[in-house]
Amino acid sequence: MDLKLEEVSELLNVSEATIRRWLADGKIPAYQLNEQYRFSRHEIEDWLVSHEFVDDEENKHTQGGLKHFALFRAIHKGGVYHNVPGSNKEEIIKNSAKLLAKDHNFDPDIMADLLLDRENLMSTALNNGLAVPHTREITFNKHYDAVAIVFPKEPIEYGALDNEPVHTLFFLFACDDKRHLNLLAKAAHFSRDQRTVDFLKSKPTKNDILKYIRSWESQINS
């Protein structure tokens, strides 16, 4: 079911006034039904992946929404996996699903198929060599969210808008829609910092990643 304006506001943790401003500026996808705005859930997901927050005032609103979500806790639960083999998108997703299935109790073949179906709709590659594979066809059957960071053995072609190969993947699993969209927004925001990109290229350990993210989140949440 498509979303109403107030539902998008709640899901993204920004004010309805901010959503209306984005609508007036043509910055968020929507359509009108009986003179009221409606939003496709899939289009909002795609918008979060590809949208650049370039306006200072917009950044202020977006970061305010992000402050209520903890990427640190999600990565702590999801784990970090190094040097995963795969020469293309399909191989890296299938090999990653096999590793993640052991720790998160899901069928690797079903999960890989769902993730690849999502990729066929639109690449989940962000700019700067990062990607956020995810699917909303299965809700993570836990009482917490998880983000698993995967470092491929070698960077892979992923269909990114900037044509950069992907060196870091954030596999995203959430409990519900609100947390899913918040997690996606925060991962996208995290990826746009050049210092962060350089840090991830070094394939840091889980402890170093958690320390970095704790510091990063404290800065954007202040």
Structure tokens at 71: 């990427």
- Prediction pTM value: 0.78
* 110 lies in the same domain as 138: yes
137, 166 contact by CB (below 8 A)? no
- Taking the C-alpha atoms of residue 82 and residue 110, their distance in angstroms, rounded to an integer, is 23
| Residue 13 pLDDT | 66
- Positions of E strands within the chain: 3-4, 31-33, 36-39, 80-84, 130-131, 146-152, 168-173
pLDDT at 98 over 50: yes
Tens of pLDDT, residue by residue over 62-87, are: 444 444 447 888 999 999 999 999 99
Tens of pLDDT, residue by residue over 2-32, are: 889 998 887 776 789 999 999 999 989 999 9
pLDDT at 60 over 60: no
Of 148, 163, 173, which is closest to residue 92 (Cα–Cα)?
148
* 190 lies in the same domain as 155: yes
DSSP state of 164: P
| Residue 62 pLDDT | 43
Question: What's 136's domain CATH number?
Answer: 3.40.930.10
- On average, the pLDDT of the chain sits at 84
* 25 lies in the same domain as 89: no
| Residue 114 pLDDT | 93
- Taking the C-alpha atoms of residue 132 and residue 147, their distance in angstroms, rounded to an integer, is 9
Helices (H), 69-126: 71-78, 89-104, 108-121
- Taking the C-alpha atoms of residue 158 and residue 156, their distance in angstroms, rounded to an integer, is 6
179 burial via Cβ count (<10 Å: 0-12, 13-18, 19+): buried
Tens of pLDDT, residue by residue over 161-171, are: 899 999 999 99
| Residue 56 pLDDT | 35
> 194 is in which domain, residue-wise?
71-220
Tens of pLDDT, residue by residue over 100-110, are: 988 888 899 99
- Which position has the higher pLDDT, 42 or 89? 89
* 122 lies in the same domain as 97: yes
Count of the separate structural domains present in the chain:
2
* 80 lies in the same domain as 14: no
- Token pair 């304006």 is found at 5
- Taking the C-alpha atoms of residue 153 and residue 171, their distance in angstroms, rounded to an integer, is 16
